[in-house]
Amino acid sequence: MTVYQEIFEVIKQRKADFENGTAPENSYTRYLFDKGVDKICKKVGEEATETVIAAKNGSNDELMNEINDLLYHLMVLCANQGLEWSEVERILGERNEKIGNLKKSHSVDKNS
């Protein structure tokens, strides 16, 4: 089991605890589930922006932390929506199999 899957399992447990009323009051994950999809999506957007800013600042330490914050909030979003992390990994695996199959006529805007 990857560290991502382990963290996702904890998030799913927090969701189950939230749903049955046993989640600790001081749990940030519980707080996100309590506030709902709008708050979770807002946090995903904020963390994505902070990730971009960290990259532009040139600090890899800051960037690593922001990437992890973004991944955590994406995992909370997945759990909230009933999506398994393994499903996300499966799609990534399918895309990985297509590497090198980019059509020659495809152009990429390197400025965006």
User: pTM for this one?
Assistant: 0.84
CA atoms within 13 A on the CB side of 20: 6
83: number of Cβ within 10 Å: 12
Region of residue 109 (phi > 0: left; psi between -120 and 50: alpha; otherwise: beta): beta
Tell whether the model's pLDDT for residue 101 goes beyond 70: no
Report whether pLDDT(89) > 60.
Answer: yes
The contacts of residue 53 (CB under 8 Å, 6+ apart) are: 66
Tokens for 65, please give them.
Answer: 């932390």
| pLDDT digits 0-9 by tens, 46-56 | 999 999 999 99
In the chain, the domains with their CATH numbers are 3-87 (1.10.287.1080)
Across the chain, mean pLDDT equals 90
